[in-house]
């Protein structure tokens, strides 16, 4: 009998949530076939069977969170006929034995009436957490209703759980400060969208003030020549931050951006495509808001926020004119970035963004 444990799926990942089992107890698996899909760091990863054998026990159920190195499945690696796919053992169907009968995974064995079980499932309440008041220690519907009245909220899963951990870490270590500015974009053509212009401007600003394209671990600061930009993307499942690697030398930023958006939308993005960012961009203005105090994700030291574009009256040649204005917010880790460095970075951004011309079109 061999216990297969959750492997290390990426740099710094501590655990994963089981999304789907692709095998059942009693099946025979061949090496390399899909075994289980797990979600970690907002990406769904398919783990193949490491070797052939009979699935004896699924130790964890769908929805369970497993730490790296934690036991996932018991596999009998003894000699078994290989049908070339996941199949039940036909010989066992004629004379079932306890080892060949699939055991329910994650099923609550508490005594409860059928109506109570249905109600608990609908409310997302575990029967093991309920105090039974029915005959013989049976859980009845009123027990579920009482528990529901005293229990609120739900455990965070997937992307929201990852976000909660990242925000907690940031709050614990980063000393944030924010500077803001506005950019006159009246010279932009109507067909131009902001995201590519912002990416190009970040590249220019990093060349002027490289202190913001850096990592800081609390002791050592590492400046980067390559700009790996994390983009904050809002989804129904939570916040995703795909990373566009090497944006300063990318031959087609728009294609790179569209590919990242598709991967997030389809949930096909891999963990490596959301790691090792050197600076972040949050273009929240397409949803709402003007300025923001953003959250820096360590070891990064800066994040740029772009707010809602609006019209503003200004003075030109002694008269009033209406200008299109893009608001910017730059939050930085004041442990390692000075106010002067942040201000120079923001000034370089504004200078680049106020240039006329079209750098490309992309949905905001």
Architecture of domain 174-353: 2-Layer Sandwich (3.30)
For domain 114-150, give the CATH superfamily. E3-binding domain (4.10.320.10)
**Cα–Cα distance measured from residue 124 to residue 147, given in angstroms and rounded to the nearest whole number:** 11
Q: Residue 166 is inside which H or E element, if any?
A: helix 158-173
Question: Closest Cα partner for 67 from 17, 20, 27, 15?
Answer: 15
- Indicate the pLDDT class of residue 151, thresholds 50, 70 and 90: low
Is the pTM value of this prediction over 0.85?
no
Domain ranges for the chain, please list them. Answer: 2-94, 114-150, 174-353
**Cα–Cα distance measured from residue 232 to residue 244, given in angstroms and rounded to the nearest whole number:** 11
Dig out the tokens for 137 from the structure: 């220690």
Give pLDDT tens digits for 216-269. 999 999 999 999 999 999 988 889 999 999 999 999 999 999 999 999 998 889
Residue 318 burial (10 A CB sphere; 0-12, 13-18, 19+)? exposed
Q: Which fold has domain 2-94?
A: OB fold (Dihydrolipoamide Acetyltransferase, E2P) (2.40.50)
Give pLDDT tens digits for 269-313. 988 899 999 999 999 998 999 999 999 999 999 999 999 999 999
Give pLDDT tens digits for 29-85. 999 999 999 987 778 889 999 989 999 999 999 888 999 999 999 999 875 444 333
- Which phi and psi (to 5°) does residue 190 adopt? -60, -25
């Amino acid at each position: 009998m061999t216990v297969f444990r959750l492997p290390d799926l990426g740099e710094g990942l501590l655990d994963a949530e089981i999304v789907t089992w692709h095998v059942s107890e009693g099946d025979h698996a061949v090496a390399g076939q899909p075994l289980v899909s797990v979600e970690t760091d907002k990406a769904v990863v398919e783990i193949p069977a490491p070797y052939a054998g009979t699935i004896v026990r699924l130790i964890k159920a769908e929805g369970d969170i497993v730490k790296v190195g934690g036991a996932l499945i018991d596999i009998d690696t003894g000699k078994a006929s290989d049908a070339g796919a996941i199949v039940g053992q036909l010989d066992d169907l004629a004379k079932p034995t306890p080892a060949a009968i699939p055991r329910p995974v994650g099923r609550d064995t508490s005594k409860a009436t059928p109506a109570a079980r249905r109600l608990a499932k609908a409310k997302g309440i575990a029967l093991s957490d309920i105090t039974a008041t029915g005959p013989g220690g049976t859980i009845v519907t009123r027990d579920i209703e009482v528990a529901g009245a005293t229990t609120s909220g739900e455990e965070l899963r997937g992307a929201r759980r990852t976000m909660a951990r990242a925000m907690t870490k940031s709050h614990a270590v980063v000393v944030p400060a924010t500077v803001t500015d506005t950019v006159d974009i009246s010279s932009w053509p109507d067909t131009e969208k902001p995201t590519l212009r912002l990416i190009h401007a970040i590249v220019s600003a990093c060349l002027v003030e490289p202190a913001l394209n850096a990592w800081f671990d609390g002791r050592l600061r590492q400046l980067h020549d390559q700009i790996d930009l994390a983009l904050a993307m809002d989804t129904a499942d939570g916040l995703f931050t795909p990373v566009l690697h090497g944006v300063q030398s990318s031959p087609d930023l728009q294609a790179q951006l569209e590919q990242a958006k598709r991967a997030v939308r389809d949930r096909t993005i891999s963990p490596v495509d959301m790691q090792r960012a050197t600076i972040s961009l949050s273009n929240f203005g397409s949803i709402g808001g003007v300025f923001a105090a953003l959250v820096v994700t360590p070891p990064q030291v800066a994040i740029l926020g772009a707010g809602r574009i609006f019209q503003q009256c200004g003075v030109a040649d002694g008269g009033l004119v209406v200008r299109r204005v893009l608001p910017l917010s730059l939050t930085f880790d004041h442990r390692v970035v000075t106010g002067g460095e942040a201000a120079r970075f923001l000034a370089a951004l504004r200078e680049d963004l106020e240039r006329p011309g079209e750098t490309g079109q992309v949905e905001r």
